Amino acid sequence: MANERIFKMAFSKIYPLLVQKAERKGRTKQEVDQIIFWLTGYDESQLNAQIEREVDMETFFRQAPQINPNAKKITGVICGVRVEQIEDPLMQKIRWLDKLVDELAKGKPMEKILRS
């Protein structure tokens, strides 16, 4: 199943792709990190530790200190799917992250991305 494959992917392999997606559009690694901190509650040292441990996506989100309560406000389409309609909670978190970095790459201001 496609979901299982995504859940088992190493976050350390996905992270540089998220950063590249942002940097290609003139945004920064710091902004990607800010999004990850906002969404997951990780801080810089915790994020780096997860990357160094090469945890999979499932572990990355399961061990997240605190999923932001405002994450429920993330709506829209990513990969042809409405994120607010994804039933699997883990897949929804993965797509939320995808969607936020997508918005960053599209030039949205950070306060809008972070649903302030």
At 50, is the pLDDT very low, low, confident or very high (cuts 50, 70, 90)?
very high
d(C-alpha 40, C-alpha 60), whole Å: 9
DSSP state at residue 88:
S
Task: Give the mean pLDDT of the chain.
Answer: 96
Q: What's the whole-model pTM score?
A: 0.94
At 1, is the pLDDT very low, low, confident or very high (cuts 50, 70, 90)?
low
CATH of 2-108, one of 1.20.1250.20, 3.40.1280.10, 1.10.8.290, 2.60.120.920: 1.10.8.290
- Give the pLDDT of residue 33: 98
Residue predicted with more confidence, 34 or 1: 34
The full set of domain ranges for the chain reads 2-108
